[in-house]
Amino acid sequence: MSLVDDSDDGDAEADGLRKIIHVDMDAFFASVEQRDNPELRGKPVAVGGSSGRGVVAAASYEARKFGVRSAMPSVTAKRKCPDLIFCKSRFDVYREVSQQIRAIFRHHTDLVEPLSLDEAYLDVTEDKLGIGSATRIAELIRQEIKAKTKLTASAGVSYNKFLAKLASDQNKPDGLCVIRPGQGAEFVQSLPVRRFHGVGPKGAEKMAKLGIETGADLAAKDIEWLRAHFGSFADYLYRAARGIDLRPVRSSRIRKSVGGERTFSRDLSSGSELRETLEDIIDIVWGYIERAEAKGRTVTLKMKYTDFQIFSRARTVDRAIEDKDEFAQLSRALLEEVLPLPMPIRLMGLTLSKLEREGEEEPKRPDAQLSLL
């Protein structure tokens, strides 16, 4: 489904704008499991551990109808959807399928920027086959993915990365959305700010208290007001509210780190609570690491105390960390080094850095990480 008809994308080229496609596989991990096991089709499926400390890595659309989401504790997911079926992750299979999909991308352009196993940006301003229309290329890519992998993908087409990513989420699953030159600001300002990449639940809550619910509300604020309330994040918000994004699609780059952090609904201080929370974070962050195909040598534990002071402790090994068990052991050791804590904490996070893997999108701000909840 296209937002508007886009038969030749001529205006973008005439205006010197880029033709960007963002392709995002639909419930990728869960869809692979349903593809390979017909008994799972049409049923609520979650990829991840089903134990008391397990975490949902991905959920099928049937499960999402019940409120099941990635990064959700498995016990919570099971409570929301009693018939939920858990599957163990098979990252070797997901990687193999991802390589098939990337080969399809590179049939059309060499300017492919993978963000993870299941999504990527493509710059098709000068496509290899001379098709000329980014919309037509996106349609062909989706058709080829379905034919070769039996999976569906959604795509967004626009003149910059920020808009293309928003567009790919607009008509999910198995959808297509096009935002043409001149329509970006209007499209963005019609959206709730929680749709903006980088604005998590806490950020959206803060904005709501300041009277900002939509992109239009955000666009009404000047840069000085935004800087006063959001600091270094203000410049990104100012541009995003106007549909501005000058970042190029980069086919090769080194990502600095992969990580995640969790802000608690109440302050934590006891060793047993902190250890249990760390196990949840290990599960989720290792999922991010595998999804990003990252290999790194440094694990960093970050904590924010109730007085908002941030403390971190890191450990580096002499070779890339091999597996989740080694990552978990290093993470646990870092926590034990700082126990007992001098005061309760309100946030905990883990990061893998000194990476050896190329690819991925850089964060919108220097300290940006994925919010776990």
Annotated binding site for Mg(2+): 24, 118
What DSSP assignment string belongs to 70-122?
A: TT-BHHHHHHH-TT-EEE---HHHHHHHHHHHHHHHHHH-S-EEEEETTEEEE
Given a contact cutoff of 8 angstroms between Cβ atoms, the answer to whether 169 and 156 are in contact is yes
Given a contact cutoff of 8 angstroms between Cβ atoms, the answer to whether 46 and 29 are in contact is no
Q: Looking at the DSSP assignment, which residues form a beta bridge with residue 46? A: 59, 86
Q: Which residues contact 271 (CB under 8 A, 6 or more apart)?
A: 339, 340
- Burial of 291 (C-beta count, 10 Å sphere; 0-12/13-18/19+): buried
**DSSP alpha helix (H) spans, 150-251:** 161-168, 184-189, 201-209, 215-219, 223-230, 234-240
CA–CA distance, 68 with 318 (Å, rounded to integer)? 39
Instruction: Give which of 109, 117, 129, 119 is closest to 153, Cα–Cα.
Output: 119
CA–CA distance, 329 with 352 (Å, rounded to integer)? 13
Given a contact cutoff of 8 angstroms between Cβ atoms, the answer to whether 121 and 113 are in contact is yes
CA–CA distance, 52 with 369 (Å, rounded to integer)? 25
Q: Which of 119, 290, 293, 361 is catalytic?
A: 119
CA-CA-CA-CA dihedral for 175, 189, 232, 113, to nearest 10: 20
- Burial of 74 (C-beta count, 10 Å sphere; 0-12/13-18/19+): buried
CA–CA distance, 274 with 289 (Å, rounded to integer)? 22
Catalytic residue flag (residue 144): no
Residues designated as active site: 119
